Amino acid sequence: MKEVILCKYGEVILKGANRSDFEAKMLKQLRQRARRIGNYKIYYSQSTVYIEPLDEDSIENIDEMFYQAKHVFGFVGVSRAFACEKNIDTILEVVKTELAPKLKGYKTFKAESKRSDKRFPMTSPEISNEVGGAVLSSVPGIKVDVRNPDVIVRVEIRENEAFVHAGQEKGAGGIPYGSSGRGLLLLSGGIDSPVAGYMMAKRGVQLEAIHFESYPYTSERAKEKVLDLAKALTNYTMRLRVHVVSLTKIQELLRDNCEEEYFTLMLRRYMMAISLKLAHDYDCEAIITGESLGQVASQTMKAINVTNSMTDIPIFRPLIGMDKEEIVRIARQIGTFETSTLPYEDCCTVFTPRHPKTRPELEKVIEEQNRLPFEELVKEAYETKEIIVVKQFGENKFE
């Protein structure tokens, strides 16, 4: 019996004249992943992408291909289905022999049918009734529940074949990665920034990442932690280029020359200036941060305005209205939470002021900034840049 993977579109369906461009990106990303796993035929029809294994090795690796398909932005549902002839007797036989063993353990189900080929001699309700009867007769103890079933058994009558499946899983959603331009993610070792990167990637933004280190005040393990977070994001992006920049000299000078309560604000302005330079060099149209309003002293409205004044491109803050519980929930979902909570500190924890300024005036901040050769220090820090390409498949590569 032939088993295939079905990937169902989400909002891509609504893209009108641009839909073909979105579809092309989704198929390209699926094919790039598939090449690492096996030999698969990948094609689309009627708002569904089909992934069909073409040899025994690919059949054996279908679990991994299914995992990969669930992480491609643009698909809202992914299923493993049995393909068969468009004949009701054949369909019912597949339900009894192939699908029924997979339904053991479920207490309730609902049967749904979609008849895309209107030439099929039965209506969708008629197909569902027959399929429901086949499930009841072949799965001991299972009952029908049309309101809140444990599992939905689906039959799709398509142009060339029928597909029978159950237990569709949630896809990544969003729109295809890379369809909304390029953005620069400020990636720390905390919980928030990887979630921010994921959320913008889900909206089609191709990510570059910048990480600021303060060696020897921060350890090599702290940098490895950030690369591990980048690795987790590559489940969705496949690769992520991380630019590591040293802030050690800037932080020491700020400690020795500026008022303590302004230290964090000044550091953020240096970080934003360096990020802006990198964004221009790598054609990024926006900067992305994990800031949430009011979470820490540097994330009040006035403090954010002090940061905003350093850039001439948008700063995206997808977490700005979220509380910590919401952010943690997404971090767990995308597999970054456990790594983020490892006890290796990043540069933002170095020389933290006892009483940071929460309602700063921009004029006073600029006055503090002028105590040091700002542009010269930005340029010098930028030249410390180390580039590491993190890949989903294979080892990291230094550029």
Task: Examine the pLDDT at 392 and tell me if it is beyond 80.
Answer: yes
User: pLDDT (tens digit, 9 = 90+) per residue, 340-355?
Assistant: 999 877 776 677 777 7
- Residue 303 has φ and ψ, to the nearest 5°, of -65, -40
More confident residue, 384 or 363: 384
pLDDT winner (highest mean) among 188-202, 255-269, 283-297 = 188-202
Helices and strands in the chain, H and E counts = 15, 16
Q: Decide if 77 contacts 168 (C-beta within 8 A).
A: yes
- What's the Rg (C-alpha) of the chain? 26
* Interatomic CA distance for residues 57 and 39, integer angstroms: 8
For 183-201, write each residue's pLDDT tens digit: 999 999 999 999 999 999 9
Q: What is the pLDDT of residue 299?
A: 84
Q: Which residues contact 227 (CB under 8 A, 6 or more apart)?
A: 242, 388, 390, 396
| Cα–Cα distance for residue pair 380/133, rounded to 1 Å | 73
Q: What is the pLDDT of residues 162-171, one digit of tens each?
A: 999 999 999 9
User: Quick one: pLDDT at residue 296?
Assistant: 81
- When the pLDDT of each residue in the chain is averaged and rounded to a whole number, the result is 94
Pick from 236, 292, 260: nearest CA to 357: 260
Band of residue 227 on the pLDDT scale cut at 50, 70, 90 = very high
Task: State both tokens at 313.
Answer: 């491109």
Segments in 282-361 forming alpha helices (H): 301-308, 324-334, 337-340
How many residues does this entry show for the chain?
399
On whether the CB atoms of residues 72 and 32 are closer than 8 A, the answer is no
Pairing of strands 75-84, 151-157: unpaired
The residues, ordered by sequence, that sit 6+ positions from 398 with a Cβ below 8 Å of its Cβ are: 386, 387, 388, 389
**In the structure, what pLDDT confidence band is assigned to residue 359 with cuts at 50, 70 and 90?**
confident
The pLDDT of 51-58, averaged and rounded, is 96
CA 193, distance to chain mean position in Å, is 12
Whether the CB-CB separation of 248 and 157 falls below 8 Å is answered with no
Q: What's the average model confidence in pLDDT over 152-173?
A: 95
What DSSP string runs through 154-223? EEEE-SS-EEEEE-PEE---SS-TTTT-EEEEE--SSSHHHHHHHHHHHTTPEEEEEEEE-TTTS-HHHH
Q: What is the pLDDT of residue 46?
A: 83
The predicted pLDDT at position 119 comes to: 93
pLDDT digits (tens, 9 = 90+) for 299-338: 889 889 889 999 999 999 999 999 999 999 999 999 999 9
pLDDT at 101 over 90: yes
pLDDT for residue 346 = 73
